[in-house]
Each structure stands twice: as C-alpha cells, then as structure tokens.
Amino acid sequence: MSDSWRMVVRAPGGPEVMEREPMSIPVPGADEIVVRNSAIDVNFIDIYHRTGLYPRAYPSGIGQGGAGEVVATGANVHTLSKGDRVVYLNDGSYATHALASADRAFRLPEGLDAETAAASLLKGLTSWMLIEKCARVVPGQSVLVHAAAGGVGSIAVQWLKAAGATVIAHSGTAEKADIASRLGADHSLCGPLDALAQQVRALTDGRGVDAVLDGVGAASWDASIGSIARRGIMISYGNASGPVPPVAPLVLTRAGSIFLTRPTLFDWIERAGDRDAGWQALSAMLVGGNIRIDIGQRFPLADAASAHRALEARQTIGSTLLIPS
C-alpha cells in the first residue's frame, strides 16, 4: 500500500463507511502547510459528518485536526518552517499527511507534546468558547457540566475551576463521576437524568446554576432547563444523544427568562485574532498545569471505525486519538 493514505467517506452511514484510500502527499498552496501527522484527534463532529447529520459533499475526507511535523510550506508562509512541531485545525485530518492553512496551525511550545496538543486543540478551544465567550463565567458562579469525564467535559471542569467557578458535574456512570471528582468538580453526580434538576437545586439552595454546558442533546434537555437559575444561560453545543427538538421561546420565559445559545466553534474562531487568543489561553492552561489532558484511548488510524463506535456508545473516557502507522 501507499506510504501516504487517508480515510475517506464515500456516502453517509455507519462507522463501516470509512475506507482507507491511497493518496499522494499533498502539495501546499501559497498559504498552506503540509503536516506529517503524529496524532489525530477524534471528535463527535466527525460522527456528525460521517452520518450526514451535518451534510457535506461526498466522497469526503474526515477529521478536524491533528498534530505533527511540518514537511512543506507554501510560498506565502513565513511564520512556520519545515521541521516545526505544530497542532492544526483543518477538515480531512484522518490521514498520514494533511494540508492546513498556516493561520489555523500553531507552533507547539516547549513542554507540550504532539499527542496532548492534538487531543486538546478542538476540545480545548471549545471549552474556551463555552466558558470565556458564551457563559462569560466569573469567580463565584456555578456551572453544570454534562458528560464531565468526556473530551470536552473533562477540560471544561478544569478550566472552570481555574476560573473560580463552583462546578456541578454529571456523568453517565459512577466510574466517570469519580474521574470528574478527581478533575476538581465540587459536586460529581451520576444516575438518571430525570432526577438531575432536583439534585442541582438541592446543591444550590434552590437557586439553580448560572450556566449549563450541555453536549448530550435530546436526552439531557429537560434536566438542563430545570437546573438553570433565573436569567442564567443554557449552552447546547452537541447532540451525543440526538438533536434537541424545536424549542418554543415561551419555554425560556417559564424557566426564568433564561438565555439559550447553540454555538459552533468555527463561528467563534473565524477571525485570526480570535483563533490566536483562544490558542494562547489554552496553551497557557496546558503548560501552566491548570489543565491535564487524559487520553483515554488510542486507535490505529486504519481502525477509525472502532474509535467511532466507542465514542457513539459513550464508552470512552477523556480524549480519543488515532495514531498513523
């Protein structure tokens, strides 16, 4: 087989639709770099692209980012050089070699390895968006984090503690709840979602939390709405259990004049200045030790299907990586 190859999706479907396909090493455009991947991040958005929940043209590459070594640069690229260690965001990263826009790639600081960088970039920037930009959390506020031992959740719990918030974590199992506790959650819950709002109210003297970070979707919607304080904010950022049904504005009124947003990271990092600010905040958290990245599972790139199955079944802990071989 070719030394350079990628995973391709020819039509939407289950994990089995991802196929290995030989390719030539990409040639960078004027503003691009080519990265030889050491580690590739796996995220729920990859599943949405594979299944067609987020429509795209097929056949298509898959994956949103990774980390490795720059092996080629375009004529207009002056900020990065061949041999630099970088982490990047770009569509189609499930490959041995990936193209990336130079302005969506970041040189790794000393002390930050490629696997940690790959596992943290998309999820870490998502946490930055949720906490710093959407919720605008300040010290003393309380926040409910769903799937708190997962990829985004595990970073968000630590980020929130560094920001001075009180964190109520919810996880699907007792094992995952223990993980969230070790990450610093003030209260770590597990169990049925239909009991969650009552538990949150009990922990907050009936007030509810200032913000909810909910990547679960349909299954957790009612529990989230029932947990929010007056004028609090509901941030729905994922569909792990399926998309949330249409919502009538009056629901927000009855919940206490709460705010609702459904953000996507790429709207928040469209501008180069925002991307740089997000990366500076995230890398400072990582290098400074405020956030520890738990890489719970690694799969060979050729076995991306198994990684997707594990993620869809909520059998993963922390971040999941694909390793080219």
Helices (H), 91-213: 114-128, 151-162, 174-183, 196-203
Predicted confidence at residue 1, as pLDDT, reads 43
> Domain locations in the chain?
5-108+294-323, 123-265
- Average pLDDT of span 114-129: 97
Distance in angstroms (rounded) separating the CA atoms of residues 161 and 183: 9
Are domains 5-108+294-323 and 123-265 of this chain identical in fold? no
Tens-place pLDDT, residues 18-29: 999 999 999 999
Q: Pick the residue with more confidence: 62 or 243? A: 62
For 5-108+294-323, CATH number out of 3.20.20.70, 3.90.180.10, 3.30.70.100, 1.10.3720.10 equals 3.90.180.10
Angle of the 304-312 helix axis to the 44-51 helix axis, nearest 10 = 100
> Which band of pLDDT confidence, cut at 50, 70 and 90, is reported for residue 318?
confident
Q: Residue 264 corresponds to which amino acid?
A: T
Provide the pLDDT for residue 2.
Answer: 62
**Run of H or E residues at 47:** helix 44-51
Q: What is the pLDDT of residue 145?
A: 98
Average pLDDT over the chain reads: 96
Average pLDDT on 267-293 reads 96
What would be the CATH architecture of the domain defined by 123-265? 3-Layer(aba) Sandwich (3.40)
pLDDT band at residue 111 under the 50/70/90 scheme: very high
Q: Supply the pLDDT for residue 317.
A: 87
The per-residue pLDDT for range 21-76, each reduced to its tens digit, is 999 999 999 999 999 999 999 999 999 999 999 999 999 999 999 999 999 999 99
What is each CA distance from 199 to 27, 176, 222, in whole angstroms?
Answer: 55, 18, 14
